Amino acid sequence: MRAKIIGVGSCVPEKVVTNHELTKTVDTSDEWIRTRTGIQERRLSDEATATSDLAIVAAERALAKANLSAQDLDLIIVGTTTPDTLFPSVACILQGKLSAVKAAAFDVSAACSGFNFALTTATQFIENGLYKNVLVIGADTLTKYVDWNDRGTCVLFGDGAGAVVLTASDDGSGVLASWLKAEGHLSDKLIMPGGGSRDPGQKNGRFITMDGKNVFKFATRVLEESILAVLKKANLETKDIDLLIPHQANSRIISHVVKKMDLPNEKVFVNLHKYGNTSAASIPIALDEAFAEGIIKAGDIVVLSGFGAGLTCGANIIKW
């Protein structure tokens, strides 16, 4: 029995902020942001919008595509590091609002790798026969946690949510293999220092702190490592990939890996110019767009690979 994706949906806030707009408040330029990251604009949630508000719309869209109702769900897993509140989980908030009465619900904290970690977790529940229908979401509102005076981070992030509905299937399609990794010795390279139990009063600040260069080095290394690892587990080779959807953080990270692996550009989906880095949401938003654009067809081999704070990295290989 495999975990097969039968519905995909996404949601981004309406407000668009271009690079040009950022230059009015921070010492940066459209040229710097484009050439160093590939980002042209990003979406920002307003004060009243929390992560679950974007996640619920993505979830409803995915459920509609899957032709399932929330009451059919056995489990909801949300990958997020920007929950509405420290507790309850975003997954429980969604379970209540969707009236998914028989679903268990929990969040997974793996930052930008959150969607892949959640997808792998959901796959285990389906493969071992415990659950049939699982909703997996990646959702984050990191723009609420950036220091708008720190040009090294504020130009990078955007908000959004993406969701998939998985069902147990024995038709040969679904998640073929998964691979997850953590390098906790690098945990200080990308960190939100305040707000947790070590600093509930946020004396250390409430903003994302990042050592961009070291995260960049980690990302280029593990993106390739993760793709090769899931291919090997699935007994496939690089040439078998029909579409790679990498975490949408920086086009230079993606190009570096694509070149090193000798992957044709048309086999790599990139939409970060429109959204920036939406953290756990970036891969399912890209998956939704790729599917809507007709890029993914039945039988295709699709690789999803993401990296982020932890530091973490996770990949899943799917036969569509």
Report the nearest approach of ligand UT7 to the CB of residue 181 (Å): 14
CB 90 within 8 A of CB 84: yes
Q: Which is nearer to ligand UT7, 152 or 196 (CB)?
A: 152
Considering only the stretches 6-14, 30-38, 79-87, 236-244, report the one whose residues sit in contact with ligand UT7 under the rule CB under 6 A.
30-38
Q: Is 277 a catalytic residue?
A: yes
Classify each residue of 178-203 as buried b or exposed e, where b means 16 or more C-beta atoms within 10 Å of its C-beta: bbbbeeeebeebbbbbbeeeeeeeee
Question: Which CA distances in Å does 93 have to 42, 96, 99, 107, 177?
Answer: 26, 5, 10, 10, 30
Q: Which is nearer to ligand UT7, 169 or 214 (CB)?
A: 214
In the complex, residue closest to ligand UT7 by CB: 212
**Among residues 5, 10, 12, 37, the one that binds ligand UT7 under rule CB under 6 A:** 37
Classify each residue of 124-163 as buried b or exposed e, where b means 16 or more C-beta atoms within 10 Å of its C-beta: ebbeeeebbbbbbbbbbbbbbbbeeeebebbbbbbbbbbb
Q: Is 316 a catalytic residue?
A: no
62 is an interface residue for ligand UT7 by CB under 6 A:
no
Instruction: Give the number of residues written for the chain.
Output: 320
Q: Is 235 a catalytic residue?
A: no
Closest CA to 291 of 320, 267, 251, 264: 320
Report the nearest approach of ligand UT7 to the CB of residue 267 (Å): 21
Site for ligand UT7 in 75-104 (CB under 6 A): none
Considering only the stretches 88-96, 102-110, 135-143, 206-214, report the one whose residues sit in contact with ligand UT7 under the rule CB under 6 A.
206-214
Closest CA to 217 of 186, 259, 178: 186
**Annotated active-site residue in 247, 250, 313, 316:** 247
Q: Which is nearer to ligand UT7, 3 or 208 (CB)?
A: 208
CB 43 within 8 A of CB 158: yes
Q: Which is nearer to ligand UT7, 175 or 280 (CB)?
A: 280
What type of residue sits at position 198? R
**Annotated active-site residue in 11, 92, 112, 313:** 112
Bridge partners (DSSP) of residue 225 are none
Q: Are strands 159-169 and 41-44 parallel, antiparallel or unpaired?
A: unpaired
Report the nearest approach of ligand UT7 to the CB of residue 35 (Å): 9
What is the size of the binding site for ligand UT7 (CB under 6 A)?
Answer: 19
Residues 6 or more apart whose Cβ sits within 8 Å of residue 97: 52, 56
Site for ligand UT7 in 153-172 (CB under 6 A): 155
215 is an interface residue for ligand UT7 by CB under 6 A:
yes
What type of residue sits at position 137? I
Report the nearest approach of ligand UT7 to the CB of residue 148 (Å): 12
Contacts with ligand UT7 by CB under 6 A lie at 28, 32-33, 36-37, 112, 151-152, 155, 210, 212-213, 215-216, 219, 249-250, 277, 308
Catalytic residues: 112, 247, 277
